[in-house]
Amino acid sequence: MKLATYKDGSRDGQLVVVSSDLTTAHHVSAIASRLQQVLDDWSFLSPQLQDLARTLDEGRARHAFPFDPRMCMAPLPRACRAVEVQLGDESGGDEAQAWQPLPGDGLLGACDEVSLAGPAATLAVAPRWIVLSGELPVGASPEQALGSVRLVGAGLQWQQRDEACPRPWLSLAPVLMTPDALQAGERGEGRGRLALSLTPSLAPEGLPPAGAPVQPSTPIGPLLARLARARGVRAGTLLALGPAAQPLGEVERVVLAALAPRGQMPLGTLDVGLRRLRRD
């Protein structure tokens, strides 16, 4: 199942189900209006959404419409809790991971502009794997934590490294998908790993990729379990995983795609333009 949130003038938008091939969508207002509702009552609402997604894929949904990523907000526009895990050398264990809270109150959509409050040279960006969790008790095991993963996605983390905007923020790909929506070749060899690669590139055309393709190799279960050690995890907690951010320089646009082994893009594409704010 794949889910997106369409812009409707409100802060939380309108939840829609998206077909597996990202060509069509269907409103789900008869089931739920917001993704957070679904995350809060997953066992009751997600099967209803799964049924609608199946009907949509089979071409039997009566009110289907063409899916347009430009109409998308972040699939979850506001997260109750967002945490970044900056992954380093896995051989170093926990010491190779840098953890920090992220602001989850204003997540950006796949085609939303990013406004620069300072010089472009101070802007850094990094691809991020996105994991949305269900409820987890204090001291949950890695197996419990892996079972609590509700949705996965991709994103870009931005950091304006100056005093005007010292904290990072996130743009999310147009859809999030349930782990069971991953094709066999996209699941990887180990439990809780993905065989997808994040491939960022810069515009204008002709510039090289913003970095080598990023493949997630750290299992998700232990990371969520560590997050639940002290005070548990609430439904809708967002985990952003990836490497350290790299400076961008003078660019106008950043594009990110999550590529499957056969070249498919199951999460759609982020296409983010950069806008510089004038300073008088």
Report the percentage of the chain scoring pLDDT > 90: 51
C-alpha separations of 23 from 2, 8, 61, 132, 207 in Å: 12, 20, 13, 24, 29
Note down the domain range covering 154.
81-276
Looking at the structure, tell me whether residues 115 and 229 fall in a common domain.
yes
Task: Check which CATH number belongs to the domain holding 128 and give it.
Answer: 3.90.850.10
Going from the C-alpha of 180 to that of each of 29, 184, 204, the distances in angstroms are 23, 9, 36
21, 39, 114, 203 from 49: Cα distances, Å:
17, 12, 32, 37
State whether 94 and 43 are in the same domain.
Answer: no
Q: Can you give the pLDDT at residue 93? A: 47
Strands (E), the chain: 2-6, 14-18, 24-27, 65-66, 81-87, 97-102, 114-116, 123-133, 149-160, 169-172, 176-177, 197-203, 237-242, 246-247, 253-259, 269-276
Q: In terms of domains, do 86 and 153 share one?
A: yes
Q: What is the pLDDT of residue 208?
A: 41
212 confidence band (pLDDT: 50, 70, 90): very low
Distances (CA, A) of 62 to 57, 98, 120, 205: 12, 47, 47, 41
Per-residue pLDDT tens over the stretch 127-161: 898 999 999 999 999 999 999 999 999 999 988 77
pLDDT at 11: 93
| Domain count across the chain | 2
Co-location of 126 and 217 in the same domain: yes
pLDDT for 207: 40
Task: Note whether residue 76 is domain-resident.
Answer: no
| 114 plus 227 within the same structural domain | yes
Q: What percent of the chain has pLDDT over 70?
A: 79
- The per-residue pLDDT for 242 is 86
Query: Is 49 among the domain residues?
Result: yes
CA distance 153 to 172: 8
As a whole number, mean pLDDT of residues 252-266 equals: 79
pLDDT computed for residue 240 by the predictor: 92
